[in-house]
Amino acid sequence: MRRSKEDEMILSYKDVVLRQLDLDILNGHFCLNDRIIEFYFSYLSSTYTSPDILLVPPAISFYISNCSDSESLNSFIEPLKLPDKKIVIFTINDNEDFSEVGGLHWSLLAFSRSMNAFVHHDTAGGLNRKHAKKLYNAVKGFVAVCDSVPTSSKKRENKKAGCPTPVPDFIECSTTPQQQNGYDCGLYVMAIAKVICDWYENGSKDENWFLSMEKQVNSSIERTMRGEILKLIEDLQIREHDHQLLNPLVEKMDVKKSPWYELSLSHIMPWTPNYSCLLCAVVMWC
């Protein structure tokens, strides 16, 4: 059975596969899907590599928010190692139906250990507050630094049950920028996530990322960010293509042992547009 053009694979990045449909969404006036946001979160995780930061894929955030079985929730959340994280970023979507894909609105819920709070950023005047509170209630007992993770909700919230950290607050951020249309909520989620990662990894002296967000995230992203993501995808496509071309040659000549090869990958390659020419030169030099 022939696949439609929409299903054509465009890029495989980390664990995310982008297809033509995703490019069509980015090129039009459409609400972003979870795959595009997951791709961008994966890119941010590769850019901001601190082990203190966790960007949770939208599908996992959705499952945590809507899982009604406490035992399943425990086994699902434990591998995330939330007590080890200083910043945890979740997505919020107003879809509550496991059998349906999508939803109408995205927002962001970020946990800050220094604030001991979950901060909700909603660019539509708190439209997703109910859904954010649902995820907050599901996960708030799992972020405390404890000797063990209690199994019952009652124990999870009891700071005397081996968890000295008080239950985190829920904060609705009143200074979150507001979208100017009905479909760019996902862009704001990604832009705010980037600001939070940058704020933490660069060691800002501000007690939170709110001021950075106010300076860096505004309605201009509605005009520019889709193009920036499309350019990012294009650049990653080129890099992936060049790796596919050069890997057989690299393996054959065993140049990976060369310090010049390592230097080209770690310091030069990310900033050089013509990767294949650069690596060919490295291969010849080796």
Q: Comparing 247 with 201, which gets the higher pLDDT? A: 201
- Note whether 53 and 87 are within 8 A (CB): yes
Tell me what percent of the residues of the chain surpass a pLDDT of 90.
66
Q: For 202-216, write each residue's pLDDT tens digit.
A: 988 889 999 999 999
| pLDDT at position 114 | 95
The two three-digit tokens of residue 74, written as one number: 């425990």
Mean pLDDT of 5-19: 94
| pLDDT at position 201 | 95
Q: Is residue 271 predicted with pLDDT exceeding 50? A: no
Between CA 151 and CA 156 the distance in angstroms is 7
Q: Is residue 261 predicted with pLDDT exceeding 90? A: no
H-type helices in the chain, by residue range? 20-27, 34-47, 58-66, 70-77, 129-139, 153-156, 185-201, 210-216, 221-253, 259-263, 275-285
Q: For 92-139, write each residue's pLDDT tens digit.
A: 999 988 777 678 999 999 999 999 999 999 999 999 999 999 999 999
Mean pLDDT of 47-66: 96
Mean pLDDT of 78-98: 94
In 161-256, the DSSP E strands lie at 169-172
Output phi, psi for 123, to 5 deg. Answer: -90, 10
Residue 251 confidence class, pLDDT cut points 50, 70, 90: low
Provide the whole-model pTM: 0.80
| pLDDT at position 244 | 65
| pLDDT at position 158 | 46
Write down the mean pLDDT value for the chain. Answer: 84
| pLDDT at position 283 | 45
Q: Which amino acid is at 280?
A: C
Angle between the N-to-C axes of helices 58-66 and 70-77, in degrees from 0 to 180, rounded to the nearest 10: 150
Q: Comparing 115 with 262, which gets the higher pLDDT? A: 115
